[in-house]
Structure 1
Amino acid sequence: MDINQLIASRVLALREARQLSLTALAERSGVSRSNISLIERGESSATATVLDKLAGALGVTLASLFEAGEDAPAAPSPLSTADTQAVWTDPASGYVRRQLSPAARSPLQLVEVIFPPGQRVAYDQVRREADTYQQVWLLEGTMDISAGDGSWRLHPGDCLAFREDQPITYANPGAVPARYLVGLVTLPFA
């Protein structure tokens, strides 16, 4: 399935499961009703910032918008081969996101990101229905990451851990693409 179609079906399914109208989701997310409609029809490639706003308003993680829904046919495989991994490019920054984890349900999700030089993406985290922790392990290049009041410059081999319940900014100050692995663990609130 095309990545934009996968995102489209997930946003629509999540909105319907929560019994939200397009107008209600637009009010919750700050994303226009027409933009949400285009995304749900697979006619628009939303930016990472827009997808994050929708995920927050739907009470899920951004990563969950790249997964097959509960209604996916057959039992999910515990194997994710390179040729079946969903790859998405943020149209605003050009960063490339590869969903490494298999579709089989697991509290751990792995994502590979290639972040272009000179680019920046900021997420205004919204309270979710679960607690999500993230670790970023930089493989190549340099990244500046801020989470809440903290700010760090990562070099190859560095690993940063933080919670996703705060504003987060990713920036590549270097002259070459940065490549990193993201590990996400989502736990229900106790």
Structure 2
Amino acid sequence: MSNIVEPSADPLVRQIAARVRTERERRRWTLAQLADASGVSPAMISRIERGESSPTAVVLGKLSAAFQIGVASLLALAEGAQGVQESVADTPGVRRAADAAEWRDPGTGYRRRQITGPRFPAEIAEIRLPAGARVPYPAAAFAFVRQLVWVLDGRLTFHDGDTVHELGAGDTVELGAPAERVFANTTDAECRYAVVLTRDARP
């Protein structure tokens, strides 16, 4: 029986793999250096970079914190590298729902769909958080960005540092200075919300 792990057939998983490797190599970091900066094991990072493992939202949060580019930015950069779809996204105008890649967190079932293309000055994503799901992010994952969360359907329990906000449909929260944050759905129904993000600076 073979122990060889085949790369994922999911194109978005491969694109995330390439983006993580590109960001690491752009900083001239070894796997060990990224592991030290992120708290993710070198073995896990290696599997992610080879496309053999789809990272969870928590792992992506740790990696993006190490890169100081934000989780949304890391995923948007990966989604913007989709070959034919990139040329569509680069052209202002209509974007069909079928053309937007959806990323699914293998740990919680959290789903993220990028709404804007790579040339748009803000990043907008639609998030579907399953009932009972809880996704924590370190403070550094929010460095160099300004972000607003807008609840579209359901209820979101949002931990912003030591403050907890109970948000319902139509509610928004504009994030301030980086802090440890948790997106939680404590209900028995899916929560759908939008994240609107702009970059303050590039590290």
Q: TM-score, normalised to structure 2's length?
A: 0.84
* 2:14 corresponds to which of 2, 5, 9: 5
| Alpha-carbon distance between aligned partners in 2 of 1:132 and 1:122, rounded to the nearest angstrom | 17
Q: Measured at CA, do residues 157 and 105 of structure 1 come closer, stay the same or move farther in structure 2, by a change above 3 Å?
A: closer
Q: Residues 69-88 of structure 1: matches in 2 within 5 Å? A: 76-79=90-93, 80-88=95-103
Is the CA contact (8 Å cut-off) linking 1:55 and 1:65 kept in structure 2? yes
Q: Report the Cα offset of residue 68 of structure 1.
A: 4.1
**Which residue of 1 is the match for residue 165 of structure 2?**
152
How many pairs align? 187
Please report how far the alpha carbon of residue 97 of structure 1 lies from its aligned counterpart in structure 2 after TM superposition. 0.6
Say yes or no: does 1:181 pair with 2:190: no
Alignment of 1:165 onto 2:178:
yes
Deviation string 1:94-150 (CA, Å, 9 cap, x unpaired) is 1101111112152x100101110111111112277x521211111111110011122
Q: Name the CA distance, whole Å, in 2 between partners of 1:87 and 1:127.
A: 21
Describe how 1:29-44 pairs up with structure 2 within 5 A: 29-44=38-53
Unpaired segments ≥5 residues, structure 2: 1-9
RMSD of aligned Cα (Å): 2.2
Q: How is 1:11-26 mapped onto 2 (pairs within 5 angstroms)?
A: 11-26=20-35
**What aligned pairs does 1:104-183 form with structure 2 within 5 A after superposition?**
104=119, 106=121, 108-126=122-140, 131-163=144-176, 165-183=178-196
* Whole-Å separation in 1 of the counterparts to 2:120 and 2:32: 31
Seen in structure 2, the aligned counterparts of structure 1 residues 134 and 127 have a Cα distance that, compared at 3 Å, is closer
Which structure carries more strand by proportion?
1
State the one-letter code of the partner of 1:57. Answer: A
Residue 116 of structure 1 contacts residue 178 of structure 1 at CA under 8 Å; is this kept in 2?
Answer: yes
Q: Match of 2:62?
A: 53
Change (3 A) 1:68 1:60: closer
Give deviations 1:59-95, integer Å, cap 9, x for gaps. 2111222234698878733354322212111111111
Structure 1 runs not aligned, ≥5 long: none
User: As a proportion of its length, which structure holds more helix?
Assistant: 2
- 1:134–1:164 CA contact under 8 A, matched in 2: no
Q: Would the aligned equivalents of 1:87 and 1:99 in 2 still touch at CA under 8 Å?
A: yes
